[in-house]
Amino acid sequence: MSEARAQILSGIRRALRRGPVDPATAAELRARVAAHRRNLIPARAAALGHAERVALFVAMAEEVQATVARVSSAAAVPDAVARYLSGENLPAELIAAPDPRLEAIPWHRRPLLRIRRGRAEADDAVSLTPCFAAIAETGTLMLISGAQTPTTLNFLPDTHIVVLHEDQIVATYEDAWDRLRAHAEAIGGLPRTVNFITGPSRTGDIEQRIELGAHGPRRLHIVVVADRCGAGDGEEREGG
Amino acid sequence: MLATSRNFKANAELGLANATLQRALAKAQTGFPLRRRLAVERLPEFEALREEGRAIKDHTLAHLDFYLELFEQRVIAAGGKVHWARTADEACAVILQICRAVGARTVTKGKSMVAEEIGLNEHLAANGIAAIETDLGEYIIQLRREPPSHIIAPAIHLVKEQIADTFRAEHRELPSERPLAEARQLCDEARKVLRPRFLAADVGITGANFLIAETGSSVIVTNEGNGDLTQTLPRVHIVLASLEKLVPTFEDAATLLRLLARSATGQEFSSYTTLSTGPRRAGDLDGPEQYHVVLLDNGRSALLGGEFQDMLRCIRCAACLNHCPVYAAVGGHAYGWVYPGPMGAVLTPSLIGIAAAGHLPNASTFCGRCESVCPMKIPLPKLMRHWREREFAAKLAPRTVRGGLKIWAFLARRPALYHALAELASRALGWAGRERGRFRSLPLATGWTLVRDMPAPEGRSFHSLWAARRRAAR
């Protein structure tokens, strides 16, 4: 296969009528990558203050059929989750990410909620996860894989509940990615996978009629917590 | 995939005569363009983003060798493997080898046009490995043993009654009297049938919408979540991607992502945009143990530096298909290979040769809608015209067309003769049609007059009116 590699690369150079990129150009290209300059950023979310940014996130997420509950503190999350489950007629049984941010929530206030921790298996109906960041521009959640945040939780169960702290909501994908770059530096590299999730699973493959829950979750419920995120990757409260 | 593009005319006539297909296409014609327009109107920066998107891709293509090598380094650094394939056969062979090395029996697949291009399913099946399509549309057409007819909505040529019939015929283990009249019921059934397949698969194969050189990541964009189950659950994840999917940085990918969903389905953002970088990390509770990227050339590198290089900017959004009057009339199967519509009319001859791609560059009215909606500003009509020139030069166009063009070229180079003959012809036609004012049929143009009348010329020709106007102005 290394023969294929050499032939493809030399074919590209022949077509472009040059040899390998010269050292000066290579240095420029490496600098371009290292700088990872932002391209044009749409104004929609970029200039908003904290409250407007949160409001835009909520509006955009609801527009794509996610449901949102806003609570004042982490202490109010168990009530919000229990209320959502009973409102949707779902069992009070959760598979949750084994994540310290979720552990810090006082689940004992709702003793009837049965919470197992780990990755999702085929029969799990409802999952509960934290998220890494959220993007106001399009109402998008950003979740990353890791020992405490298995990816199967985001896709296998029928219902996915996400706990999001307001200070995790940024304006754009680029803002979220900057946070991830900082995180990657701290943990020694990017996580295996990064999931940008915008609303529940859907398909339009049958006569262009949108149906929710094609293969991933049918329901995406986001609990937005007004206080700061426990894990402390947050920045200033008042943005913009 | 075996190309039948040479039979475009016959295929198109079958499409036009197929009432069910016409019913399915009618539904598609209004939805996609309307949703795209609303999404574009909502983002004032859309035009500026198109310019930036074009510049990003042009920059990447001009330094493609550099970015490919950087991408390879970063994939390896993240614990993955990169395989280079010059041809469809090489790509199929390396994928089979990876599957065999882990003793794979079944493979799940996310939607990949490149996999269609290399005939991957057939190759795996011939070697005893079942590849199961998991995108709903792809799954439906796999059951029907049909090729996709659209690059983002593969089953767009079907109505739900046909899909219900297919499910009844193929899902024989389910009760025969179950209701399947609604799209919801069909979706639920596919979800139920495919779930155990996802869980049992040994290898998951996806395409890639983008490859990011900076991080060695592959990016897939889906709405169903099938691609994510495909690449999360099995032990091995194989990404099959063609060379031109590369972009330098995450920021560059973000710009293209802002264009992609809006141009494709009119969504602000697709439900799932997923970046994968290497295999499962120490301590991870899920994810594949192996991560492979197969980089496919299959004729693309030869397009660099030439008149068709612009085509390599294509991000496969399908806006050109969704806005094409020819595609809307005949459907995707008429194009006879993997890529239909205007992008297919340019790409197909680029990849399989103009001799095999026959009429495709002629399957256009040159109305220009494709170019006007293309997020990457690919001059599709111009590129089709280049293929027509090559078709003519290679004497592949029908004799009558070549003869006609030669006569026209002879006259066009002799304006005085041209004007005199045009004047004469229009007077003769005007005289011949003076009673009815129109012609039901004309010699040499029976195909044209089959579905419309030719109005008889009246009064003076444009040339003589124009000359008179010039004289009056002086």
Q: Is B338 helix (H, G, I), strand (E, B) or coil?
A: coil
Which residue of A193, A194, A195, A212 to mutate against B (max B Cβ within 10 Å)?
A193
B296: left (phi over 0), alpha (psi -120 to 50) or beta: beta
Tell me if B279 sits within 8 A of B80, measured CB to CB.
yes
Residues within 8 A of B (CB atoms), A 179-208 only: 189-208
User: Is A8 in contact with B295 (Cβ distance < 8 A)?
Assistant: yes
User: Is A214 in contact with B163 (Cβ distance < 8 A)?
Assistant: no
Count Cβ atoms below 10 Å from residue A107 Cβ, excluding itself: 18
Tell me if B366 sits within 8 A of B342, measured CB to CB.
no
Q: Chain A contacts of B31, Cβ < 8 Å?
A: 208
Provide, rounded to the nearest whole percent, the portion of chain A with pLDDT above 70.
94
User: Is B272 in contact with A216 (Cβ distance < 8 A)?
Assistant: yes
pLDDT digits (tens, 9 = 90+) for A68-79: 999 999 999 999
In CATH terms, is domain B43-301 a member of 3.30.1360.30?
A: no
Which pLDDT does position A236 carry in this prediction?
A: 38
> Measured between CB atoms, does A60 come within 8 Å of chain B?
yes
Which amino acid type is present at position B132? I
Chain B residue with minimum CA distance to A201: B224
User: Is B224 in contact with A9 (Cβ distance < 8 A)?
Assistant: no
Residue B244 token pair: 């031109």
Q: Chain A contacts of B281, Cβ < 8 Å?
A: 145-147, 191-192
Which amino acid type is present at position B186? L
- DSSP per-residue letters across B247-286: ESSHHHHHHHHHHHHHHHTS-SS-SEEEEE-SSPPTT-SS
**CA-based diameter of chain A, in Å?**
71
Chain B residue with minimum CA distance to A198: B271
pLDDT digits (tens, 9 = 90+) for B331-368: 999 999 999 999 999 999 999 999 999 789 999 999 99
Which pLDDT does position A228 carry in this prediction?
A: 67
Which pLDDT does position A232 carry in this prediction?
A: 40
Q: Chain A contacts of B271, Cβ < 8 Å?
A: 64, 197-202, 216
User: Is B284 in contact with A192 (Cβ distance < 8 A)?
Assistant: yes
Which pLDDT does position B447 carry in this prediction?
A: 80
Distances (CA, A) of B59 to A88, B65, B162, B165, B298: 50, 12, 45, 49, 21
pLDDT digits (tens, 9 = 90+) for B267-296: 999 999 999 999 999 999 999 999 999 999
Q: Where do runs of H (alpha helix) occur along B281-414?
A: 319-322, 325-330, 341-352, 354-357, 369-373, 380-393, 399-412
Question: Between A36, A37, A198, which is nearest B269 by CB?
Answer: A198
Residues within 8 A of B (CB atoms), A 33-52 only: 33, 36-40, 42-44
Q: Chain A contacts of B233, Cβ < 8 Å?
A: 152
Q: Is A117 helix (H, G, I), strand (E, B) or coil?
A: strand
**Which positions of chain B have pLDDT values less than 70?**
none
**Distance from the A205 Cα atom to the nearest Cα atom in chain B, whole angstroms:** 5
User: Is B297 in contact with A140 (Cβ distance < 8 A)?
Assistant: no
Tell me if B148 sits within 8 A of B137, measured CB to CB.
yes
Q: Is B291 helix (H, G, I), strand (E, B) or coil?
A: strand
Side-chain half-sphere of A175: how many Cα atoms within 13 Å?
23
Question: Between A36, A122, A192, which is nearest B287 by CB?
Answer: A192
Q: What is the third-level CATH fold of A43-225? A: Rossmann fold (3.40.50)
**Which positions of chain A have pLDDT values less than 50?**
1, 231-240
User: Is A194 in contact with B269 (Cβ distance < 8 A)?
Assistant: no
> Measured between CB atoms, does A138 come within 8 Å of chain B?
yes
Question: Between A17, A192, A214, which is nearest B276 by CB?
Answer: A192
What are the residues whose beta carbons fall under 8 Å from the beta carbon of A94, sequence distance 6 or more? Answer: A81, A113, A114, A115, A116, A126, A127, A128, A161
Question: Between B45, B225, B275, which is nearest A40 by CB?
Answer: B45
Tell me if A167 sits within 8 A of A131, measured CB to CB.
no
**Distance from the A148 Cα atom to the nearest Cα atom in chain B, whole angstroms:** 8
Domain boundaries, chain B: 43-301, 415-473
Q: Chain A contacts of B196, Cβ < 8 Å?
A: 122
Residue A98 backbone phi and psi in degrees, to 5: -75, 65
